[in-house]
């Protein structure tokens, strides 16, 4: 665990970084990156008469307000509202905790990255934010002869043999692959039998609590005889009571008086269609049990269709609850199925002569077998191609946070990204230390000197100070090469302290 907090100096240089930006006519530029943790730095120096008169840096960024992070209890939470100790999921699908949260002002471009298959999972980041990905150019034999080829025509075996790496968002292009993951922890519970899981599925799609929490009821069209029969049998088996029914025009309601069952469903599923959501107990169950629930949802509020006669079957579930839609996507992913999420506006609905209000609905669609694969699953995570990248100007607060253990990563709407406040702080301090110094003096500044000037760094964050030193030396080396002098000092090529 890395529970050591950052010093006041680190936080000051993160929240109020000095010398951020570029020097258009820089005397030297140094770019370095850490492929393991995702930290990326670029340093610019301006030299006059052998003295560094100016220095600037660029490093990775943050997320604008409104972006959402995957929580360990299921669903998403807004990054602006995260608190210390909030449980989140990292890039490996493991649970971790928020150790510190950061907020700073930002003015510049943000990128909206739109994944293929599920645009609802689009997310925005600043251009320097590292994203775990596989660049298409890294894949052996990948074709680029057309738009469709960019997304689908890759050899899956070669794709799986290609290791993902962190790259700045600004380096991504359409056709590159993002890493999509979910909570991988499994915790079984004998309380959730096949019958209970199917009843939960029907409750999510067609059920409600009535009579001040004393009755559980389900509403079906009178023609849905098989569903009516199954729900009646499930209620009787689980409660030991014989359900009753009543008919209202074309609708038949099946209900049973059971406060115990009502409390159980309220705890694990909540109530009111647009607020329904699953408990952590249900979300951690083995997928074989969760699939029983999904199947019942399909029966109650979904369906199966084929776009063309020869196509493979496609499944759809519709819900009024955003939280539930996200959770179903996560459950499907635990079973190796990528579900596409889409928000739709439901209009023109009537009950008898009464027109209902227009409402937002969430559509989850998926296939268990695909003729053409756009989402690739390697039994650890999904690889999803980028459909489009949009740029927009943003001015306002951006947010980030540090987690308690490596890898210092998290999931934004399911996709793996990385961040660490130490990288910005060490770059900021390094530029402060070198301004006004000669090249000979600047090249001797070590990563330990940077860390000490910041009041120390946690052991697992010392690599950020190493990167700051490496970026400085790379900029000096570039300056020397431009001047045709070679290295002014052998210190330029010396290894940094561990």
The CATH number covering residue 273 comes to 3.10.28.10
Partnered with residue 45 across adjacent β-strands are 28, 55
Mean pLDDT of 206-212: 95
Is residue 157 assigned to a domain? yes
320 and 346 part of one domain: yes
What tens digit of pLDDT does each residue of 125-153 get?
A: 988 788 999 999 999 887 654 444 455 56
How far does CA 493 lie from the centroid of its chain? Answer: 38
Domain boundaries, position 252: 194-377
Is residue 228 assigned to a domain? yes
- Res 421: pLDDT: 61
pLDDT at residue 490 is higher than 80:
no
Q: Which of 8-17, 31-40, 171-180, 476-485 has the lowest mean pLDDT?
A: 31-40
Is residue 336 assigned to a domain? yes
19, 13 contact by CB (below 8 A) = no
- Res 420: pLDDT: 59
- Res 349: pLDDT: 57
Question: Is the pLDDT higher at 189 or at 149?
Answer: 189
What tens digit of pLDDT does each residue of 157-174 get?
A: 999 999 998 787 888 999
Q: Show which of 392, 418, 444 is a domain's final residue.
A: 418
Strand-by-strand arrangement of the 207-210 sheet? 207-210, 215-221, 251-257, 244-248
82 and 105 part of one domain: yes
249 and 372 part of one domain: yes
341 and 212 part of one domain: yes
3 confidence band (pLDDT: 50, 70, 90): very low
What tens digit of pLDDT does each residue of 213-269 get?
A: 999 999 999 999 999 999 999 999 999 999 999 998 889 999 999 999 999 999 999
Is residue 213 assigned to a domain? yes
Is residue 44 assigned to a domain? yes
Percent over 90 (pLDDT), the chain: 60
Look up tokens 């949009």; give the residue: 390
40 confidence band (pLDDT: 50, 70, 90): low
- Res 312: pLDDT: 77
Give which of 320, 330, 270 is closest to 294, Cα–Cα: 330
Q: Which of 29-33, 167-171, 489-493 has the lowest mean pLDDT?
A: 489-493
Mean pLDDT, the chain, rounded, equals: 86
Greatest mean pLDDT range, 235-239, 271-275, 353-357: 235-239
Mean pLDDT of 71-93: 95
What is the number of structural domains in the chain? Answer: 3
- Res 5: pLDDT: 62
What tens digit of pLDDT does each residue of 276-319 get?
A: 999 999 999 999 999 999 999 999 877 877 666 777 788 999 99
Q: How many Å apart are CA 30 and CA 42, to the nearest integer?
A: 6
What tens digit of pLDDT does each residue of 312-340 get?
A: 788 999 999 999 999 999 999 999 999 99
Mean pLDDT of 70-90: 95
What tens digit of pLDDT does each residue of 368-401 get?
A: 876 667 899 999 999 999 999 999 999 988 888 8
162 and 310 part of one domain: no
What tens digit of pLDDT does each residue of 15-30 get?
A: 677 887 789 999 999 9
* Burial zone of 16 (CB within 10 Å; 0-12 exposed, 13-18 middle, 19+ buried): exposed
The CATH number covering residue 109 comes to 2.170.16.10
Q: How many Å apart are CA 413 and CA 76, to the nearest integer?
A: 7
Q: Which of 128-132, 270-274, 346-350 has the lowest mean pLDDT?
A: 346-350
290 and 146 part of one domain: no
Mean pLDDT of 465-491: 79
Is residue 188 assigned to a domain? no
Q: How many Å apart are CA 40 and CA 34, to the nearest integer?
A: 6
pLDDT at residue 488 is higher than 70:
no
The CATH number covering residue 454 comes to 3.90.1010.10
- Res 66: pLDDT: 92
345 confidence band (pLDDT: 50, 70, 90): confident
Q: What is the pTM of this model?
A: 0.78
427 and 402 part of one domain: no
- Res 37: pLDDT: 43
Is residue 120 assigned to a domain? yes
């Amino acid at each position: 665990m890395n529970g050591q907090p950052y010093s006041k100096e680190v936080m000051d240089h993160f929240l109020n970084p000095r010398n951020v930006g570029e020097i258009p006519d820089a005397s030297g530029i140094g770019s370095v990156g850490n492929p393991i943790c995702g930290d990326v730095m670029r340093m610019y120096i301006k030299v006059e008469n052998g003295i560094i008169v100016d220095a600037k840096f660029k490093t990775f960024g943050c997320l604008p307000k409104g972006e959402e992070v995957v929580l360990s209890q299921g669903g998403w939470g807004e990054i602006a509202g995260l608190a210390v100790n909030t449980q989140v999921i990292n890039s490996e699908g493991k649970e971790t905790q928020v150790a510190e949260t950061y907020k700073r002002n930002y003015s510049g471009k943000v990128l909206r990255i739109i994944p293929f298959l599920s645009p609802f999972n689009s997310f925005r980041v600043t251009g320097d934010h590292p994203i775990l990905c596989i660049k298409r150019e890294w894949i052996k034999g990948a074709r680029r002869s057309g738009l469709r080829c960019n997304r689908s025509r890759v050899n899956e075996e070669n794709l799986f043999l290609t290791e993902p790496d962190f790259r700045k968002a600004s380096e991504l292009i359409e056709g590159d692959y993002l890493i999509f993951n979910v909570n991988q922890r499994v915790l079984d519970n004998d309380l959730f039998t096949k019958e209970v899981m199917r009843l939960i599925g029907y409750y999510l799609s067609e059920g409600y609590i009535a009579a001040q929490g004393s009755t559980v009821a389900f509403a079906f069209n009178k023609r849905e005889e098989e569903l009516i029969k199954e729900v009646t049998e499930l209620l009787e088996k689980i409660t030991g009571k014989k359900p009753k029914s009543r008919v209202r025009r074309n609708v038949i309601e099946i209900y049973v008086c059971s406060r115990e069952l009502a409390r159980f469903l309220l705890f694990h599923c909540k109530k009111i269609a647009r607020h329904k959501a699953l408990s952590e107990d249900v979300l951690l169950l083995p997928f074989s049990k969760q699939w029983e629930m999904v199947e019942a949802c399909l029966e109650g509020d979904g369906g199966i269709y084929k776009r063309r006669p020869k196509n493979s079957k496609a499944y759809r579930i519709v819900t009024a609850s955003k939280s539930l839609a996200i959770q179903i996507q996560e459950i499907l992913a635990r079973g190796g199925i990528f579900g596409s999420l889409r928000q739709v506006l439901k209009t023109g609905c009537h009950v008898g002569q009464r027109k209902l209000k227009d409402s937002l609905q969430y559509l989850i669609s998926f296939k268990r077998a695909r003729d053409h694969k756009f989402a690739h699953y390697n039994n650890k995570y999904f690889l999803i191609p980028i459909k489009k990248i949009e740029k927009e100007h943003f001015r306002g607060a951006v947010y980030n946070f540090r987690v308690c253990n490596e890898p210092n990563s998290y999931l934004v709407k399911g996709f793996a990204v990385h961040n660490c406040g130490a990288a910005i702080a060490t770059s900021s301090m390094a530029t402060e230390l070198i301004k006004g110094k000669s090249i000979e003096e600047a090249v001797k500044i070590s990563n330990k000197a940077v860390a000490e000037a910041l009041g120390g760094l946690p052991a697992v964050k010392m690599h950020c100070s190493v990167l700051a030193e490496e970026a400085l030396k790379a900029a000096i080396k570039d300056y020397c090469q431009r001047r045709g002098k070679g290295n002014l000092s052998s210190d330029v090529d010396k290894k940094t302290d561990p």
